Chain A
Amino acid sequence: MSRRPVSRRRFLAGASAGGAALALGSAAAAAPVRQRSGISPQVVEELAQYADVPLAPDRAAELAPLLAGALAQLRALPTQGYENLEPAVVFRVPPEG
């Protein structure tokens, strides 16, 4: 696969306001995204079971809105132009083998 350079303009379009809103954790920012991310306390409980982490129901209720807001912000970031970008964590074979 050829590696195309990332278009910074496309990558950054609309990105700047989202980051600050998330960090401030405003309820207004989090509310609409809860639906979009599909994260509910039940989903968090199931993910915790899948991860084999004990999580009481009241904990899932606390985590769900935190995760939902953050996740929706992450997934709302523009993706066009970054498809061929390597994640920062990439396995490499060192020169010495």
Chain B
Amino acid sequence: MSAQDLVYLTLREAADRLRQRQLSPVELLDAVLARTALLEPQINAYITPMFDQARAAAAQAEREIMGGQYRGPLHGIPIALKDNYWTRGVRTTAGAKFLAEFVPTEDATVVTKLHEAGAVITGKCNMHELAMGGTTTNPHYGATHNPWKLDRIPSGSSGGSAAAVAAGFCYAAMGTDTSASIRGPAAACGLSGLKATYGRVSIYGVIPYAWSFDHAGPLARTTEDVALVMNAIAGYDPNDDGSADLPTPDFTARLGTGLQELRIGVPRDYFFDNLETDVGTAIETAIGVLRDLGASVEEVSFPSAAIAPTLYPFASRPEAAIYQESFLQQPDDYGADVRPTAEMGAVILATDYLRAQRYRAAIRKELAGLLRRVDALVTPTARATPHPIGRRWSEINGQPVNPTLVATGNTVPFSMSGSPALSVNCGFSAEGLPIGMQIVGRAWDEPTVLQIGAAYERATPWHERHPSL
């Protein structure tokens, strides 16, 4: 097997080889670190590599597996973390100058769970400053480049995590998602990425953007790989007040199930407005695939989704401002794009914050009613493919548009509702840039979302493509 084949195994394929002792965790890590050494100067996926710790963890995993102590599918698997997850003894910057020297004294709950599962943590990935944006063009730690086209953004804010997986530096990476930050980078980098139901995965030890919106979740090359990571990280955490004390499903249980019994809704109004032509073509083809797989596809209406972009700044930015109170005393240490977002949060009245949160409850109720009629919704994840690094606007069919609407317009309604939402790769533009399809389910019903994503991937080849680097 070539080095390229080795680094582009799926997590499942790598895990099977490790379990069967056809491959050692040390060999696997060596392969991805060799690739990282070669390509990281072009990608800039990491803020803080943890390669020495990773080598020690891989050696330990090798000893354990050889000794018959196989822990499960993540044992010995290289996995990267977005740099807003606390890591004991390793600096955690959240992409901010304010936190350049912050070294946590404990791990985030997700990190603890990954260690318990035997994962090999490769490092802390670049991100949009404080997760407050969607380009990962970080003024303090440099821009992350999209492995599919190096002059393009990887989206954000989990852009370093997505680029690391797409470039073959690891087999999965952890991201966080407040309005789009797992789903957007997954779409932009040709990956699967899941924002589970709010409360399903602990956010204890994740540096907050906005508590009532922040979600932790995985990005990987396939939906099955996402499900395998979810099995390790999901579950109730008493340290997280938003964590749900509910039974945790086996996220892989229905991955092989067909779609014949499922009703899938397509909310064309709003979600399909003003799409880049290639995005529209790809999503229509993908919907046809779901229909061919036996799903009952019907058009549905979700009108209140259109007000989500209006509500989001008022519902989220005051939450950011209270966490960032000390940062706001040193405003020159913010990057130029994040500074106004942060400052605006400090001057929003509490009444307007609560006004937005009230409408948010209405969105959730309307969606819950809609999802009593259908089992899931599908939409484009982003309305356009990723734009060039350094450009402050997106373009749709040659017209300049607000990049925030392009990146988050279709994802933020489901951030408002806290719904499980998966992005899967559903094709490529004429320029060779990946396109994402968002699959949204009922609260706590991640297995259906993953079932649809996995069935789609079995029927299509997109997830098997890799960037030419």
Contacts and interface: CB of A to CB of B under 8 A. Distances in A.
B307 interface: yes
B294 interface: no
B343 A6 contact: no
A39 to B, nearest CB: 9
B243 to A, nearest CB: 12
B329 A54 contact: yes
B308 A55 contact: no
Interface string A4-20: 00101001100111111
A24 B401 contact: yes
B310 A67 contact: no
B5 interface: no
Contacts of A59: 331, 339-340, 343
A24 B402 contact: yes
Interface in A67-81: 67, 70-71, 73-75, 77
B405 A20 contact: yes
B354 A19 contact: no
Query: Which of A23, A48, A63 has the most C-beta atoms of chain B within 10 angstroms of its own C-beta?
Result: A23
A2 B416 CA distance: 26
A16 B303 contact: yes
A88 B303 contact: no
Contacts of A62: 340
A73 B315 CA distance: 14
A84 B67 CA distance: 61
B331 A54 contact: yes
B269 A16 contact: yes
A48 B308 contact: no
Interface in A22-46: 22-25, 44
Interface residues on B, range: 35 or more
Given A16-B307, A74-B311, A23 B405 contact: yes
B355 interface: yes
A89 to B, nearest CB: 5
Given A47-B347, A74-B314, A88 B212 contact: yes
Contacts of A19: 270, 306-310
Nearest to B328: A53
B358 A82 contact: yes
A85 interface: yes
Contacts of B401: 24
B63 interface: no
A20 B309 CA distance: 7
A77 B365 contact: no
A93 interface: no
Interface string B314-356: 1100000100000011010000000110011011110010111
A73 B356 CA distance: 11
Contacts, number: 124
B379 to A, nearest CB: 15
A48 B347 contact: yes
Contacts of B360: 87-88
Given A48-B343, A59-B343, A18 B310 contact: yes
A73 B310 contact: yes
A83 B49 CA distance: 51
B356 A86 contact: no
B365 A6 contact: yes
A51 interface: yes
B306 A74 contact: no
Contacts of A16: 269-270, 303, 306-307
Nearest to B409: A23
Contacts of A8: 304, 362, 366, 369
B347 A63 contact: yes
Nearest to B303: A12
B212 to A, nearest CB: 6
Given A44-B347, A48-B346, A66-B344, A22 B309 contact: yes
Contacts of B404: 23
Interface of B: 212, 269-270, 273, 303-304, 306-311, 313-315, 321, 328-329, 331, 339-340, 343-344, 346-349, 352, 354-362, 364-366, 369, 401-402, 404-405, 409, 416
29 contacts: A6-B362, A8-B366, A8-B369, A15-B303, A16-B307, A17-B306, A18-B307, A19-B308, A19-B310, A20-B270, A20-B309, A23-B402, A24-B405, A44-B347, A47-B346, A53-B343, A53-B347, A55-B343, A59-B340, A63-B344, A63-B347, A73-B310, A74-B310, A74-B352, A74-B355, A75-B352, A77-B310, A87-B358, A89-B212
The 8 closest A-B pairs by CB, nearest first: A87-B357, A23-B309, A47-B347, A23-B405, A16-B306, A19-B306, A19-B307, A88-B357
Given A16-B269, A82-B358, A85-B361, 10 more contacts: A6-B365, A11-B304, A22-B309, A24-B405, A53-B343, A63-B340, A63-B347, A74-B310, A77-B359, A88-B364
